[in-house]
Amino acid sequence: NKAGTTVASFKNNLESGYTYIVKDSKGNTVTSGPIGTKFTVEISGYPSTKVTVIVRGDTDCNGKITSMDYVKIKNHILKKNVISDEILKVAADANTDGKISSLDYVRIKTQVITI
């Protein structure tokens, strides 16, 4: 999923005929606002499937790419606060090369600066 995608636009891109329930990273049902990393989408009638959303670069699970995200990646690289959560590791790997590195940090920082 891309940063800034809203719950409404996310649902509009899904197949019709099913009921979709979006929950934030704490398990609360959400109906509006951006959809973030670790949000879940429950699909009823498919037979009852639940998927976890990953937004590349969104390490604080708010659906936006902000300075908090690149600070978290920087601290991971410097081993000040290593990201141990597997889903957050995937989100932090912004360039999808299978590792969290300075390339991910630069990509996220550049994205924040240009916003």
Please check whether residue 112 is in contact with residue 65, taking contact to mean a CB–CB distance below 8 angstroms: yes
C-beta neighbour count of 90 within 10 angstroms:
18
The answer to whether the CB of 54 falls within 8 A of the CB of 1 is: yes
Q: Please list, in sequence order, all residues whose beta carbon lies within 8 angstroms of the beta carbon of residue 13, skipping any fewer than 6 positions away.
A: none
Q: How confident is the model at residue 114 (pLDDT cuts 50, 70, 90)?
A: confident
Higher pLDDT, 37 or 46: 37
53-96 pLDDT per residue, tens: 999 999 999 999 999 999 999 999 999 999 999 999 999 999 99
Give this prediction's pTM.
0.87
Quick one: DSSP state of residue 5? Answer: -
